[in-house]
């Protein structure tokens, strides 16, 4: 992991093998498995999750449910935050806002989270969701989330 | 349906059998079935959804995933909005904000959505999520959502 | 401080003379003076601010500007949070969301902030703005804000 | 108006002299005058507003009040939306969320609004606020706002 030894990205130190920590944590998120989400890209301050369309994830009009979009965006934003903190800390989402811009219609969906403002206690991350079919990806939703860095709270690791 | 012939609730007319329309629409939401959510109360301007804890819905710390909380709150708020519109119209969520106040720890969860501001084009609804175990229900999350009333758009009914 | 030994609200201890601390802090908010806002009610977990309509506070259609509504709601929510913390701590707003439900048209405006979820680090407060003319007060906006409790940071008191 | 005849952005048609319409509308916003805000850049889908620090705009710690930051960001986002609609329509802010990332400390502030998602009824815009002193501009806040395109409503023009 040479990348993890570099310093870069928004003034933060890179803490060891954050990629492995994120993969371990993602694997513990049963909800991500339930919706069929995969972690497809992990960089310092930026994480991508992808998902195939599945009829079991639809709202009443047959599009991807806003809650599924939120779940994947929240995970992408949360892990983007998790990628910039020290190995002993953990991340909890305090709040997020989602704007649903176009129906969740597509064969596959990409959810990207990026750290906008790192911090020792509060991290702000922004996410974007895209529907992918033939042709260019279409922006379907955006998120801004506020994450809290947690240290030393029992039962909250990863 | 004597209730549906009354006028009440926040100055809105009650439109026919909104309860049946909501139950039909909910039944088409495959995502609600996937997470095991049930529609437990439908009134004019107010809807409740309930959910049993299930390990397949967890985030990495074993609590109910924020995305699942959002999905159920969004549905409760959306159907609360749906309950106050005329039968030919439909509801799309434009955006929502969720505050996650306490970990999603409990045996069962209740999600309630209430119309705060009805309108012919835009409806604002507020939601609250509660964890239920022994003892009093615990507030775990709140939502404010903005819904748009849709008319005459192909493929968008219910 | 007999009050602080008697009253409790929402599970929090009442800390000394929070009313005086809030009045002192409000008096230091030059922006509140600039918009003509007054602190009209201070209780444990709940604060009200009032404002007369003034043409210098309008947006392009002659209604009260959304930013003025936000400023007053943020102050009401922030002081509601401030009323439940210990005297050595301070409050910073991390983020808020405002829904503007009706035009800011009226002779006078009332902004109320209430603590929804107290906490040692994060406090969530909800606010409502009302326009007051003849007849009943009209709900014009709502806010949900997330506040952080700050301790021992230089230059941040009150 | 060579700019308005040449440039297009984000798939929208450019509608005549949007720059002049925005300047006229801004001039009617008394709240912008009250806080000393100036419209410094108007392009298709993107607007900037600037403001000098003024002690009359402070919160209790002497920083720029969150409400002032919100007012300027809301105006930048609203005019960014206004720049992409047809000349007979108008814009109302339905809701926005602001994240306050760093104290509003600086000699001058820049507020930029950009259209993220144009639309015939709903437009989503994102804003960023920067503090400017010596050295590089510092990101102090972000906004996501939802705007509604209004047509034919009496008293709502510009």
Which CATH number is B105's domain given?
3.10.129.10
Helix (H) / strand (E) element for A44: namely none
What are φ and ψ of residue A92, in 5° steps?
-120, 135
B155 pLDDT above the threshold of 60: no
Q: Is it the case that residue A1 has pLDDT exceeding 60?
A: no
Q: What is the spatial distance between Cα D10 and Cα D81, in angstroms, rounded to a whole number?
A: 12
Looking at the partner chain, which of B30, B71, B158 has a beta carbon nearest the beta carbon of A55?
B30
Residue B114's pLDDT is what? 98
User: In angstroms, rounded to a whole number, what is the distance separating the alpha carbons of residues D46 and A27?
Assistant: 41
Torsion of CA A28, C148, B144, D139, to 10 degrees: -90
Q: What are residue B33's phi and psi, to 5 degrees?
A: -65, -40
Give domain status of residue D4, yes or no. Answer: no
Q: Is residue B103 part of a domain?
A: yes
Q: Which of A9-13, B123-127, C112-116, D136-140 is predicted with the least confidence, judged by mean pLDDT? A: A9-13
Mean pLDDT, chain D, rounded, equals 89
How many Å apart are CA B92 and CA B75, to the nearest integer? 10
Q: What is the pLDDT of residue C2?
A: 32
Give the pLDDT confidence score for residue D4 in this predicted structure: 34
Residue B42 pLDDT greater than 70, yes or no: yes
State which residue of chain C sits closest to B128, comparing Cα positions. C116
Q: Is the pLDDT of residue A48 over 50?
A: yes
- D95·C95 Cβ contact <8 A: no
By CA distance, what is C121's nearest residue in B?
B101
- Distance of residue C70 Cα from the nearest chain A Cα, in angstroms: 17
What would you report as the CA-atom Rg of chain C, rounded to the nearest whole angstrom?
A: 16
Express each pLDDT in B58-112 by its tens digit: 988 899 999 999 999 999 999 999 999 999 999 999 999 999 999 999 999 999 9
Using a CB-CB cut-off of 8 Å, the residues of chain D touching C28 are 58, 60-62
Angle between helices C18-28 and C66-82 (to 10 degrees): 150
> Where is C32: in which H helix or E strand?
helix C30-34
- In the 8-state DSSP scheme, what is residue D38? E
C93 touches chain B (CB under 8 A): no
Cα–Cα distance measured from residue D20 to residue C158, given in angstroms and rounded to the nearest whole number: 44
Handedness of CA A65, A70, A71, A72 (dihedral sign): positive
Identify the segments of chain C with pLDDT beneath 50. 1-11
Domain ranges, residue B99: 12-151
Two tokens, residue C124? 């969530």
In whole angstroms, what is the distance from residue D88 CA to residue D107 CA? Answer: 38
Closest to A73 in 3D by CA, of B62, B77, B65: B65
Higher pLDDT, A143 or A16: A143
- What integer pLDDT is reported at residue C8 of this predicted model? 39
Q: Is B29 exposed, middle or buried (0-12, 13-18, 19+ CB in 10 A)?
A: buried
pLDDT confidence bin for A114, thresholds 50/70/90: very high
CA distances for D10 relative to D1, D44, D46, angstroms: 20, 9, 11
CB-count burial class (<10 Å; 0-12, 13-18, 19+) for D9: middle
Residue B42 lies in a domain: yes
CA dihedral B30, B32, B37, B38 (to 10 degrees): -70
> Considering the domain boundaries, does residue A106 fall inside one?
yes
Distance of CA D55 to the CA centre of its chain: 22
Q: Which of B73, B65, B83, B86 minimizes the C-alpha distance to B113?
A: B73
Residues of A in contact with B65 (CB under 8 A): 29-32, 71, 74
What is the mean pLDDT of the segment spanning D122-142? 95
CB of B47 within 8 Å of a chain A CB? The answer is no
Q: Please determine, for residue B16, whether its predicted confidence score (pLDDT) is greater than 80.
A: no
What are φ and ψ of residue B153, in 5° steps?
-105, 120
Residue B152's pLDDT is what? 77
B122 touches chain D (CB under 8 A): yes
Backbone angles phi, psi at B20, to 5 degrees: -70, -40
The tokens describing A8, both together, are 């870069």
Dihedrals phi, psi of A144, to nearest 5 degrees:
-120, 125
Residue B123, Cβ neighbours under 10 Å: how many?
A: 27
**Is residue A6 over pLDDT 50?**
no
Q: Say if B59 is an interface residue toward chain C (CB within 8 Å).
A: no
**Per-residue pLDDT reduced to its tens digit, A59-107:** 988 999 999 999 999 999 999 999 999 999 999 999 999 999 999 999 9
Strand order across the A38-43 sheet: A38-43, A46-52, A108-117, A122-132, A138-150, A90-100, B90-100, B138-150, B122-132, B108-117, B46-52, B38-43
pLDDT computed for residue D156 by the predictor:
59
Q: Which of A97, A124, A148 sits opposite C122 (nearest CB)?
A: A148
Q: Residue A1: inside a domain, yes or no?
A: no
Residue A144: pLDDT over 60 = yes
> Do the Cβ atoms of D67 and C60 come within 8 Å?
no
Looking at CA atoms only, how far is residue A90 from chain D in angstroms?
20
Selection from A111, A138, A140 nearest residue A126 by Cα? A111
| pLDDT band of A128, cuts 50, 70, 90 | very high
Cβ D92 vs Cβ D148: under 8 Å: yes
| Cβ-based neighbours of D92, under 8 Å, separated by 6 or more | C100, D147, D148, D150, D156
What distance in Å separates the CA atoms of residue B37 and residue B110, rounded to the nearest whole number? 10
- H helices of chain B, where? 2-5, 18-28, 30-34, 66-82
From chain A, the residues in CB contact with C147 under 8 A are: none
Say whether residue A7 is in contact with chain B using an 8 A CB cutoff: no
A120 part of a folded domain: yes
Instruction: Dump the DSSP string for A66-118.
Output: HHHHHHHHHHHHHHHHHTTS-TT-EEEEEEEEEEE-S---SSEEEEEEEEEE-
pLDDT of residue C148: 97
pLDDT confidence of residue A14: 72
* Pairwise CA distance, residues C36 & C58, whole Å: 13
pLDDT (mean) for D112-139: 96
Contacts of B33 (CB under 8 A, 6+ apart): A56
Across chain C, which distance is largest between two alpha carbons, in Å? 50
Q: For chain C, how many structural domains are there in total?
A: 1
* pLDDT confidence of residue C38: 97
In a domain, D6, yes or no: no
Dihedral Cα C17, C23, C27, C30, nearest 10 deg: 110
Give the separation between CA C80 and CA C93, rounded to whole angstroms: 12
Give me the torsion for CA of B4, B5, B8, B14, rounded to 10°.
Answer: 60
Q: Is D121 on the interface with B (CB under 8 A)?
A: yes
What is the complex's ipTM, to 2 decimals? 0.88
A3 domain residue, yes or no: no
Classify strands C122-132 and C138-150 as parallel, antiparallel or unpaired. Answer: antiparallel
* Torsional sign, CA B65, C77, C156, C9: negative
Q: Using CA atoms, how far apart are residues B142 and C7, in angstroms rounded to an integer?
A: 27
Which tens digits make up the pLDDT trace of D21-77?
Answer: 999 999 999 999 999 999 999 999 999 999 999 999 998 889 999 999 999 999 999
- Locate the chain B residue with the closest alpha carbon to C97: B97
Residues A38-47: tens digit of each pLDDT: 999 999 999 9
Q: Name every chain B residue with its beta carbon within 8 A of the beta carbon of A58.
A: 29-31
Residue B4 pLDDT level (bands cut at 50, 70, 90): very low
Tokens 């929240």, residue located: A74
pLDDT at A158 over 70: no
């Amino acid at each position: 992991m040479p990348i993890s030894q570099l310093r870069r990205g928004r003034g933060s130190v890179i803490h060891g093998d954050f990629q492995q920590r994120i993969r371990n944590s993602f694997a513990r998120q049963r909800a991500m498995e339930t919706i069929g989400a995969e972690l497809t890209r992990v960089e310092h301050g930026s994480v991508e999750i992808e998902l195939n369309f599945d009829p079991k994830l639809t709202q009443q009009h047959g599009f991807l449910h806003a809650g599924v979009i939120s779940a994947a965006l929240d995970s992408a934003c949360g892990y983007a935050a998790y990628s910039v903190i020290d190995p002993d800390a953990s991340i909890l989402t305090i709040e997020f806002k989602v704007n649903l811009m176009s129906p969740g219609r597509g064969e596959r969906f990409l959810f990207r989270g990026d750290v906008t403002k790192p911090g020792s206690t509060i991290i702000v991350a922004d996410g974007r969701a895209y529907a992918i079919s033939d042709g260019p990806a279409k922006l379907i939703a955006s998120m801004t989330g506020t994450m809290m860095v947690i240290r030393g709270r029992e039962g909250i690791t990863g």
